[in-house]
Chains A and B, each alone.
Chain A
Amino acid sequence: MDLVLEGFRQAFLLILRGDHEVMEITWLSLKLSGLATMLSLLIGVPLGAAIGLRRFPTRNLVLGVINSGMGLPPVVVGLFVSIVLWRRGPLGFLELLYTPSAIVLAQFIIATPVVAGLTAAAMQQLDPRLMLQLKGLGASTWQALMLLVREARFSLLAAVMAGFGAVISEVGASMMVGGNILHYTRVLTTATVLETSKGNFAIAIALSVILLLLTFTITMTITALQQSGSNRA
């Protein structure tokens, strides 16, 4: 119990003092996971919307694959990205392995199915005749789509939270493709693993607390945004 209390005390001090190393790691986590989430929205929302709204023969299969992808183990993604980015791998010439870009790529792969799957579910909740009604009022397909996304905006914010939550908390992929290099690819989760293995439980707890606070703050902001909108009615 002392250990835990000591951890919290240290966390408090580290945050209060604005410890340079901790701030750097936190900022990097936020930056990489935020970027990965944004990229996953760029691909996941249109993809999910298309699957949710359109009817095509292999639709169930595609939906099944994406929904399984929502539970994609980060280590598997890490392994896959490592192989691809390996010096002799297909994309080895890019020399991306053990760089922040590799982490973003891996996290993007983890977040995209989450975003796409939840977007598809959100779009399926809309009245299927809404698309037709909007076109009946003169909307182009694109105009109608934009409005449908707007109609599903509260569910889509949930997709953003789930996507961000999945990547800010993963450790396997970041460790494998980033390498946990100090000042370069060390993020909150990989640092926590390292400190724990070194026996620095207090610092590990401190990092964990920061991670939790970070996740909570961001999720709370989005939740507030979501609820202020839906309570208007």
Chain B
Amino acid sequence: MTPLIELRDGLVRHGRRVVLDIPDLAIQEGERLAIMGPNGSGKSSLLRILGLLEVPTRGTVRFHGEVPDKSQRLAIRRRMASVFQASLLCDTTVHANVGLGLRFRRYPRVESDKLIRHWLDRLGIGSLAFRSARTLSGGEAQRTSLARGFVVAPEVLFLDEAFGALDAPTREALLLDTETILRDSNITVVFATHERAEAQLLATRVAILLDGRIAQIDAPTRVFAAPASEAVARFVGFENILPARVLGVTGGMTDVEVNGTLIRVGGTGRIGESALICVRAEDIRLLRPEAARLVSDRSTLLSATVRRVMPAGGMFRLDLDAGFRLRVLVNRHLAEAGTLAEGSQVHASIPAAAVHLIPVPELAHRAAASSVA
């Protein structure tokens, strides 16, 4: 199937610095692609190029398989819409702001008004229609901004961190409303974010952009559970990334050794191979000594010493010493009960299914050169 949009051989250079280097990125109709990456990784630049708002240093953007020439760009651009992080509203009413895209496309007034009304209501800001855009709260402004994008019924909607500048409750409400709207439509969406939750909620596919290159592109569950490289693992929030060596493989499980300790991993590795194992802090459980005896062979039990206790919102983050540093996220009540003071002994259980193994052949040299961090 011909992709809706495709970037081929894309390169953006600012001076000598390569901002973006993407040999091929194809977006299918109806798909919702999240572009994730740290600040400065090139997300916004990529969105601008796909949206025909910027011309790359090199490369072509195809729309329905064809490269638009200069005279066609505006017409193609009008089949898309972009919404940015800062709701850049014009100094007029909410109604007129939402109608901007329709005005540019010279929609008849009556039809415009109907569409504007519809989308104001869909985004829950119908009552604000004739308020000045300057008097809106952050959430209301961003709702106006989103309505401005939806109202033109774009074939592709680009959202550049459209939820990023909002406070948590406002963002959550807007995210849920957006998800409802997107679920009911077949609109293709490309959105930039650095929030994992946002991508999990909205995306059908996730691309991790690191230093201008796509480090991994896959289904959200794959990207967040099985990162392709150490850099991706770090970016998607694996707090424990440990150098390991594969010792043996038995019945779909792999045993690896991390600094002298045996850890069981779901999936299979190659014996003798160097690897990194990645575990999320929230996937490790702390057990009472009596419960520790009941642990199955589908997880690894470690005894460790608590080195540091750090508050982390509603949870606590612990640094354990198990012969290597292990970071664990625990329930607030557990930490506050006083059993987890610095220096106390604990049992940590790591489910094999929660451990992801990344084979890294060149790691053997590195491990030899430096001690384990």
Report chain A residues within 8 Å CB of B53.
132, 135-136
Interface residues of B in 25-59 (CB under 8 A from A): 48, 51, 53
The closest CB in chain A to the CB of B79 belongs to A138
The residue that A233 contacts in the complex, of B80, B91, B100, B158, with Cβ under 8 A, is B91
How far apart are the CA atoms of A136 and B148 in the complex, in Å?
10
B134 contacts A233, CB within 8 Å? Answer: yes
The closest CB in chain B to the CB of A232 belongs to B132
Q: Does B101 touch A at the CB level, under 8 Å?
A: yes
How far apart are the CA atoms of A132 and B88 in the complex, in Å?
10
B105 contacts A138, CB within 8 Å? Answer: yes
How far apart are the CA atoms of A132 and B90 in the complex, in Å?
13
B134 contacts A136, CB within 8 Å? Answer: no
The residue that B77 contacts in the complex, of A138, A150, A233, with Cβ under 8 A, is A138
B77 contacts A135, CB within 8 Å? Answer: yes
The residue that A137 contacts in the complex, of B134, B135, B148, with Cβ under 8 A, is B148
B158 contacts A136, CB within 8 Å? Answer: yes
The residue that B90 contacts in the complex, of A138, A140, A151, A232, with Cβ under 8 A, is A151
- Report the minimal beta-carbon distance from A146 to chain B, rounded to whole angstroms: 11
Report chain B residues within 8 Å CB of A129.
84, 86, 88
B81 contacts A136, CB within 8 Å? Answer: yes
Interface residues of A in 131-148 (CB under 8 A from B): 132-140, 143, 147
Report chain A residues within 8 Å CB of B134.
233
A137 contacts B100, CB within 8 Å? Answer: yes
The residue that A139 contacts in the complex, of B51, B86, B104, B132, with Cβ under 8 A, is B104
A233 contacts B135, CB within 8 Å? Answer: yes
Decide: A133 near B88, CB < 8 A? Known: A139-B104, A143-B104.
Answer: yes
How far apart are the CA atoms of A132 and B44 in the complex, in Å?
12
B104 contacts A127, CB within 8 Å? Answer: no
Show 23 residue pairs from A and B whose CB-CB distance is below 8 angstroms, ordered by the A residue. Answer: A130-B88, A130-B90, A132-B82, A133-B84, A134-B104, A135-B53, A135-B77, A136-B51, A136-B81, A136-B83, A136-B158, A137-B82, A137-B104, A137-B148, A137-B152, A138-B80, A138-B81, A138-B104, A140-B74, A140-B104, A150-B91, A232-B132, A233-B91
A138 contacts B88, CB within 8 Å? Answer: no
Q: Does B149 touch A at the CB level, under 8 Å?
A: yes
Report chain B residues within 8 Å CB of A132.
48, 53, 82, 84
The closest CB in chain B to the CB of A127 belongs to B88
Q: Does B122 touch A at the CB level, under 8 Å?
A: no
Interface of B is mostly: mixed
B86 contacts A127, CB within 8 Å? Answer: yes
How far apart are the CA atoms of A143 and B103 in the complex, in Å?
10
> A146-179: contact bitstring with B at CB < 8 Å (1 yes, 0 no)?
0100110000000000000000000000000000
Report chain B residues within 8 Å CB of A147.
90, 100
A137 contacts B91, CB within 8 Å? Answer: no
Interface residues of B in 60-99 (CB under 8 A from A): 74, 77-78, 80-84, 86, 88, 90-91
How far apart are the CA atoms of A223 and B202 in the complex, in Å?
49
> B144-160: contact bitstring with A at CB < 8 Å (1 yes, 0 no)?
00001100100000100
How far apart are the CA atoms of A139 and B90 in the complex, in Å?
13
How far apart are the CA atoms of A232 and B91 in the complex, in Å?
10
The closest CB in chain A to the CB of B151 belongs to A137
Report chain A residues within 8 Å CB of B74.
138, 140
The closest CB in chain A to the CB of B54 belongs to A132
B148 contacts A151, CB within 8 Å? Answer: no
B84 contacts A136, CB within 8 Å? Answer: yes
Across chains A and B, which 3 residue pairs bring their CB atoms closest together, nearest first? A136-B82, A233-B134, A133-B88
A151 contacts B91, CB within 8 Å? Answer: yes
Q: Name the residue in B78, B84, B104, B135 with the highest tally of chain A Cβ atoms < 10 Å from its Cβ.
A: B104
How far apart are the CA atoms of A143 and B74 in the complex, in Å?
12
- Report the minimal beta-carbon distance from A36 to chain B, rounded to whole angstroms: 30
- Report the minimal beta-carbon distance from B82 to chain A, rounded to whole angstroms: 3
Report chain A residues within 8 Å CB of B148.
137
Report chain A residues within 8 Å CB of B135.
233
Interface residues of B in 150-190 (CB under 8 A from A): 152, 158
Report chain A residues within 8 Å CB of B132.
232-233
A137 contacts B90, CB within 8 Å? Answer: no
Interface residues of A in 197-233 (CB under 8 A from B): 232-233
How far apart are the CA atoms of A143 and B78 in the complex, in Å?
13
- Report the minimal beta-carbon distance from B92 to chain A, rounded to whole angstroms: 8
Report chain A residues within 8 Å CB of B158.
136
- Report the minimal beta-carbon distance from B360 to chain A, rounded to whole angstroms: 41
How far apart are the CA atoms of A137 and B96 in the complex, in Å?
13
With contacts A136-B83, A137-B82, A233-B132 known, what are 4 further pairs, Cβ within 8 A? A130-B88, A139-B100, A140-B74, A147-B90
Report chain A residues within 8 Å CB of B105.
138
- Report the minimal beta-carbon distance from A130 to chain B, rounded to whole angstroms: 5
Report chain B residues within 8 Å CB of A127.
86, 88
The closest CB in chain A to the CB of B103 belongs to A143
How far apart are the CA atoms of A139 and B86 in the complex, in Å?
18
- Report the minimal beta-carbon distance from B259 to chain A, rounded to whole angstroms: 49
The closest CB in chain A to the CB of B134 belongs to A233
How far apart are the CA atoms of A132 and B77 in the complex, in Å?
12
A137 contacts B101, CB within 8 Å? Answer: yes
Decide: A138 near B86, CB < 8 A? Known: A132-B53, A233-B91.
Answer: no
B100 contacts A134, CB within 8 Å? Answer: yes
How far apart are the CA atoms of A138 and B90 in the complex, in Å?
15
Report chain A residues within 8 Å CB of B80.
136, 138
